[in-house]
Structure 1
Amino acid sequence: MSDPKLLLIDAHALIHRSYHAIERDLTSPSGEPTKAVYGFASTLLKVIKEQQPQYVIATFDAGKSFRAEQFAAYKANRPATPDDLKSQFARCQEFCRVLDIPVFALAGYEADDLIGTLSKQAEEKNLDTLILTGDRDTLQLVDAKTQVLMIMGSTGELKLYDDAAVRERFGFAPEQLIDFKALRGDASDNIPGIAGVGDKTATKLLQEFGSVEKIYHNLASVEGKVGEKIQAARAQVELNKQLVTIDRAAPVTLDVNAARFGEYERAPAVELLRELGFQSLLARLPGDGDGDAADLAAHAPQDIESKYAAVLSETDLAALVKRIKKNKAFV
């Protein structure tokens, strides 16, 4: 991909992954929980630095999806959002806004739908799209103009998926992931698959027939119990395909001028990072960082009197340990 690049952020996926991946709790100087915000901000800054996108947009979920109306059990297995995470979504939006990154959220639609629609519009404007996510659902969008940067596991490792990488990983084309999930279901979204039809069988069927519709058209060619199970589950499979297909016609519009990245006021961004206690991220803000170094110096303690003593022997070490225990402090 060599055309101007649009970075689309699946914010909800990134926030949830950050919250669960960072083991220890983080709080701001005022005691506000911040570990999901820190993971979100750190990953976003890393990707922006490495990928150098000309345009950036963040997408968020907004309440229940229209899919819950089609299938009442859709995502019904999801646990309630932890109390200490709820406030962090707004903080992540605030971080995007101080970087002048547009935030998209639309009632009834998931972030995936907004990403699917915006990436389609980007292609029409001859832009390349890079999707930052931890959700494999978006791999169905991969094509010659769209790639997915997937956050892998708890390590935060980033893996780039283009068409070839998807085919290598799954054994079929990106758009066939829709049919694969229609057959196999998606436990994370509480979508049931066909009992007794595993990954290998579903993959083989798609490699042979190409799609769910063609499988049912040629069902007589599917012998034995597998054919019977597929026939019996037809209504569920057809519903599944609707549920797992990303809507690429959501009522949102890509404004490339609003999404152009880089021209933001540094002072509010620096102020927010300092308020959250993210001093280590100041130097990673895009653009000229000299002001951040000066800001840190200006707020550093001044005229601190220091006394040093070299520990050169076991006797010196024992004396030091004795002093620490006596004073119950180590500075």
Structure 2
Amino acid sequence: MDPVAKEKLLREVQGAKPQTAVDYLLLDAASIAHAHFFSTRDPVPSGGDVPANGILGFYNTAQRLIARFKPFRIIVAFDGRKLARAEIYPGYQSRWRRFNPELRRQVGLIAPLSLKLGWHVCVSDRHETIDLAASAKRQCGLDDSSMVFVTQDKRAVMLLEKNVGVVMRSHVIWDLVTHLDVSDEFGVLPSKVADVIALSGEGNIPGIFRLGRKTAAKLVNEFGSAERVYETLDKLHNHLREKLETQKAAFELGRKLTRLDALAPIDVAKISLEQLAFDREGVERFCTIQKLGTVLRRIDADYPLELWNLPFRKS
């Protein structure tokens, strides 16, 4: 990004960091578990316990972020199984289908465990977690509440606002993504990331073949939007113009796939009114049945006796 654009960015995002205590901490459970599945060392199971490194990674990350952001409500979200985007593009697969069987097993245990911990769980069969986050962001804007979204989905940077933070994993650290981080990675403002992804692709989104992210960012910065690029193709050199013309269908597909559903079914106002208690007996029973002794021992270390069966309350 050129110096003038970077200076404009700095002026635009001053004070954009969310407050220390937030109303909602929204956790992309599968994404967090996947990030730790291959990197978190699981203590040697004993007494017939089964591996739980993905669950442990998710739980440990959640606890660290709870301590940092002090959320009023904790929401654990999951991708649906019959995604609307897969109907638009059959090659678009849920992350769930790409996980190996052991990781799928562990992710499947996070929802019931979370409920027993007093955390809210949200899933919509046709939506991804990123859509639930977009819907939650819209609702937060209506009542001036704040949210932090924790994920590895790079599209999440499109959600950055003064009252909405995004936490991603960099190496082994989960930390807030800044607007400058976005400009360094995508070369554009957060509001223009969708244009870059629609042009160059990302993950499940194919994009235009052999159109790199830097080229896409340069075009978006020069013309203002991906649509404007297509309206002024005559200003591009022959090779690039031909590439964009012949692959316009790929761009239009990418645009559809990057569009987030801000009306996805999550009701943060309702969640704010629901108090879920930490059910210690339920946690012990669940972990015993599922042979998650390593997880139970960690939970016991975090929750002293006096916190058993107490709801989360707003201070």
TM bracket, shorter-chain basis: 0.7 to 0.9
Which position in structure 1 is the counterpart of 2:246?
232
* Conserved? CA contact 1:97–1:103, under 8 Å: yes
Separation in 1, partners of 2:229, 2:144: 35
Taking structure 1 as reference, are residues 57 and 82 closer, same or farther at Cα in structure 2, changes over 3 Å only? same
* SS of structure 2 residue aligned to 1:229: helix
Give matches, 1:40-55, under 5 Å: 40-55=58-73
- Percent identity among equivalent residues? 25
Name which of 251, 265, 268 aligns with 1:251: 265
- The letter for the 1-side match of 2:272 is N
C-alpha change, 1:20 and 1:258, in structure 2 (3 Å) is: farther
Write the distance in 2 (CA, Å) between the matches of 1:169 and 1:71.
26
Aligned residues: 284
Secondary structure at 1:251 match in 2: coil
Question: TM-score, with normalisation over the residues of structure 1?
Answer: 0.77
Distance in 1, Cα, partners of 2:112 & 2:186: 37
1:8 is aligned to 26
Residue 169 of structure 2 aligns with which residue?
Answer: 151
Rate the CA distance shift 1:184–1:259 in 2: closer, same or farther, 3 A.
farther
Work out which of the two has the higher radius of gyration on C-alpha atoms and give 1 or 2.
1
Gaps of 5+ in 2: 1-17, 308-315
Shift of 1:284: 2.5
Tell me, what secondary structure is at the counterpart of 2:80?
Answer: coil
Contact 1:33 1:85 in 2 (8 A): no
1:243 Cα deviation from its structure 2 partner: 0.6
Instruction: Give the Cα–Cα distance (whole angstroms) in 1 for the partners of residues 298 and 22 of structure 2.
Output: 30
Task: Specify the alignment match of 2:311 in structure 1.
Answer: none
Structure 1 residue 251, shift from structure 2 partner: 2.9
Match of 2:112 among 85, 94, 112: 94
RMSD: 2.6
Q: TM-score, normalised by structure 2?
A: 0.81
Paired residues of 1:273 and 1:281 also in contact (CA < 8 A): no
Counterpart pick for 1:175 among 191, 194, 197: 191
Instruction: Please give the alpha-carbon distance, in whole angstroms, between the structure 2 residues aligned to 1:162 and 1:80.
Output: 29
Q: Superposition pairs for residues 70-109 of structure 1, below 5 Å?
A: 70-75=88-93, 80-109=98-127
Shift in alpha-carbon separation, 1:195–1:142, aligned structure 2, 3 A: same
1:305 equivalent in structure 2: none
Structure 2: which amino acid aligns with 1:100?
G
The answer as to 2:236 corresponding to 1:222 is: yes
